[in-house]
Structure 1
Amino acid sequence: MEYVDVVTLGESMVTFVPTRPGRLADVPSFDRAIGGAESNVACALAALGHATRWVSRVGADGFGDHLLARIADHGVDVSAVHRDPARPTGIYFRTGADRATGAHEVVYYRAGSAASAMSVADVDQAAVRACRVLHLSGITAALSPQCRELLWHLTAPRAGGPLISFDVNFRPALWPERGEAAVLLELARRADLVFVGADEAEDAWGVTGGAEAIREALPEPGVLVVKDGERGATAFARGPLEGAGADTDTVTPGAPEPAATVGAVTHRVFEPAPRVHVVSTIGAGDAFAAGFLSATLRGLPVRQRLRYGHLAAAAALTASTDLAAPPGRGHADRLVALDAPAWGRLRLAPGWTQAERAPEEANPT
């Protein structure tokens, strides 16, 4: 199996979005798209120049054909996706309103889907592990007991394995029983790099008090990224830093830190998010993870990794689709290199990813 930069594993579904605003009960027609946290990350990383593979199961149906074709069109290897003749590809319908509004509606038809049947026995383990980074999501753990067992297996300590990246991705609708989401905390503790929103930590685990409190609840990961919406994100990186006063670490993909270093010094880096004209928040978390992972693969300092995450998220925030193209690497590199005052002046509006003007002129308002 070909070795790639990043493998992502999880369910993707065909998405139906209304052609005009309104309740699902009222809109007359829908446009078809694709949606899935892990495939979104794979597609964004491919657009950023990385070799990626998406591992999953889809039905032997037209929707499965559509998913495979669309994701492959983004440059992602889909050769390890299994076709299931007995189970359907998941689909869902959503309104055009943002998830943060009370008017937003989502209706899933994913129970018994092909992806929910993923298990340790039927996933190509060689394809999953032939990478520098394996990116997983808490959504998969909610699909079925066998999916949860698969994540437990993939996050088990293994010498010489890929760096394990885990996005908590708490979805309340998938965890209806109080306390069930505690499994996400246990999975996060087994990962090397974890992404979690401050709101997710409170809703899923009752952890309040900000980034530091979340780090106290999650001391094990070598790198923990706590996202705080439009305010910004905080990264906690354990281990030595490069140079006096630098904000970089030496976490290397493919070489997870041993558990014995859990008590080592943790360095904290906060980076504010640029101001963004938000069209929709859907897919922004996946994009942030892709941006951060891209910068990690390139060995960039932690502060620059956070900035890459913010810029990739801004690309999603200023687009109406679940999967938005990130800025070109050259464009992003120029923005990431801005000094703090210039970074603080950034104003990113729809279409900014196509701008190739001077960094400080990127769609100011």
Structure 2
Amino acid sequence: MTSRPTPPEILTFGEAMTLFVAETPGDLAEVARFRRGIAGADTNVAIGLARLGFHVGWLSRVGDDSFGTYIRRTLEAEGLDCRHLTRDPDHATGLVFKARVDDGSDPHVEYVRRGSAASFFSPADAQAVDFAAARHLHATGIPPALSASARELAFHMLERARTAGVGISFDPNLRPGLWGSDAEMRDTLNDLASRADWVLPGLAEGRRLTGLDSAHDIAGFYLDRGARAVIIKLGPEGGYYRDATQHFTIEGFPVAEVIDTVGAGDGFAVGVVSALLDGLSPRTAVRRGNLIGARAVQVRGDMEGLPHRARLTELEADLPPLD
């Protein structure tokens, strides 16, 4: 009997959806042709880390349909370990349609995900996960927004990771339209963030979740609740870092032309998390986050701009030393 591959060193979970991107600009109601891909913030980060050589496990649910098959094949082709990807015979794979824009603005996105397979997540989906073999868990605020049972899974994943001594990064990734109220979203996501080691909100997200204005104060909010470090996405301005002993801002990289802003924050997360897992300094980690985030907005697609390790090494070799 052939033994199963080594359990993943990095665990990720969330909803992967089949993505249809308009091939021409304009209202989605007028578009006749789309290009197929996959979408999902959690998926983007998983793919980005896998491209950098990490053994990433993906926990999710897809429908027992052609879209679910496509997602599995695509993720496995990217090097993800899909042993915890379940095919649900009773519920469909989620779909997302994205408009094409040519002016660098945020594209209009429409979802067909209500009642999707992933919305039926529950802690039972994680029963076979080997947390003892894992090194790190990356989580976002999207799964707990999908349903009550998916929220239970999110808390279950973070609690089991903490019990096993696994490092945790958490990106709030706000999806207000999926929540019953702002208060419910705020309380749930701040509770999850309090269980993480590294918290990675965007500045606008942090303001909405904490009621505070500055990056310094937002970071302090999460440090006071148990985070080891808070790394805040500042968009084109770069990234802000604060832990118990230091705080600083690293400027972003100039981009001549913004093609597609979707996935920029996920690219930033890939850069920061991968660098910290590589044992690099916080300054280098934020700079890598800025670098990958800047690359993500220069191509069309959610994860097409995420580099493989060899390309990242080339890009970083050309950078000047940090002060």
**TM-score normalised to the size of structure 2?**
0.90
Q: Does 1:270 pair with 2:249? A: yes
- What secondary structure sits across from 1:57 in the alignment? strand
1:91 to 89, 95, 99: 95
Query: Which position in structure 2 is the counterpart of 1:113?
Result: 116
Q: CA contact under 8 A between 2:296 and 2:302: conserved in structure 1?
A: yes
Deviations 1:248-298 (A, max 9, x none): xxxxxxxxxxxxxxxxxx321321111113211111111111111111111
Query: Which position in structure 2 is the counterpart of 1:326?
Result: 307
Which residues in structure 2 correspond to 1:222-261 (within 5 Å)?
222-238=228-244
Pair 61,285 (structure 1): closer, same or farther in 2 beyond 3 Å: same
Query: Which position in structure 1 is the counterpart of 2:138?
Result: 135
Deviations 1:60-119 (A, max 9, x none): 1000000011111111111210110001000011111389847x4221111111111111
Q: Does 1:33 pair with 2:14? A: no
Query: Which position in structure 2 is the counterpart of 1:339?
Result: 321
Pair 98,64 (structure 1): closer, same or farther in 2 beyond 3 Å: farther
Pair 134,98 (structure 1): closer, same or farther in 2 beyond 3 Å: farther
Q: CA contact under 8 A between 2:84 and 2:125: conserved in structure 1?
A: no
Letter aligned with residue 38 of structure 1: D
Pair 189,181 (structure 1): closer, same or farther in 2 beyond 3 Å: same
Identity across the alignment (%)? 37
User: Partners of 1:32 and 1:116 in 2: how far apart?
Assistant: 22
- What secondary structure sits across from 1:93 in the alignment? strand
Q: 1:211 offset after TM fit, Å? A: 1.1
User: Partners of 2:32 and 2:255 in 1: how far apart?
Assistant: 32
Q: CA contact under 8 A between 2:174 and 2:205: conserved in structure 1?
A: yes
Pair 66,89 (structure 1): closer, same or farther in 2 beyond 3 Å: same
User: Partners of 1:13 and 1:323 in 2: how far apart?
Assistant: 13
Q: Does 1:212 pair with 2:245? A: no
Query: Which position in structure 1 is the counterpart of 2:125?
Result: 122
Query: Which position in structure 2 is the counterpart of 1:201?
Result: 206
The answer to which of 77-86 and 122-131 deviates more is 122-131
**TM-score normalised to the size of structure 1?**
0.80
1:73 to 58, 68, 77: 77
User: Partners of 2:100 and 2:180 in 1: how far apart?
Assistant: 24
Q: Does 1:181 pair with 2:185? A: yes
User: Partners of 1:178 and 1:116 in 2: how far apart?
Assistant: 20
Q: CA contact under 8 A between 1:170 and 1:204: conserved in structure 2?
A: no
Pair 188,335 (structure 1): closer, same or farther in 2 beyond 3 Å: farther
Q: CA contact under 8 A between 2:143 and 2:150: conserved in structure 1?
A: yes
- What secondary structure sits across from 2:302 in the alignment? coil
More helix by share: 2
- What secondary structure sits across from 1:190 in the alignment? coil
Which structure is larger by alpha-carbon Rg, 1 or 2? 1
Q: 1:55 offset after TM fit, Å? A: 0.9
Query: Which position in structure 1 is the counterpart of 2:262?
Result: 282
Q: Does 1:151 pair with 2:133? A: no
Q: CA contact under 8 A between 1:99 and 1:281: conserved in structure 2?
A: no
User: Partners of 1:132 and 1:141 in 2: how far apart?
Assistant: 22
Query: Which position in structure 2 is the counterpart of 1:18?
Result: 22
Could you list the runs of 5+ residues in structure 1 that have no partner in the other structure?
239-265, 342-365
Letter aligned with residue 307 of structure 2: P
Q: 1:127 offset after TM fit, Å? A: 4.2
Q: CA contact under 8 A between 2:199 and 2:230: conserved in structure 1?
A: yes
- What secondary structure sits across from 1:312 in the alignment? helix
Could you list the runs of 5+ residues in structure 2 that have no partner in the other structure?
none
Query: Which position in structure 1 is the counterpart of 2:291?
Result: 311
Letter aligned with residue 109 of structure 1: V
Q: Does 1:172 pair with 2:176? A: yes
Deviations 1:18-43 (A, max 9, x none): 11001011111211110011111111
Q: 1:51 offset after TM fit, Å? A: 1.4
Pair 205,175 (structure 1): closer, same or farther in 2 beyond 3 Å: farther
- What secondary structure sits across from 2:183 in the alignment? coil
- What secondary structure sits across from 2:84 in the alignment? coil
Aligned length: 311
- What secondary structure sits across from 2:267 in the alignment? helix
Pair 74,153 (structure 1): closer, same or farther in 2 beyond 3 Å: same
Task: Give the alignment's Cα RMSD to 1 decimal.
Answer: 2.0
User: Partners of 1:121 and 1:96 in 2: how far apart?
Assistant: 38
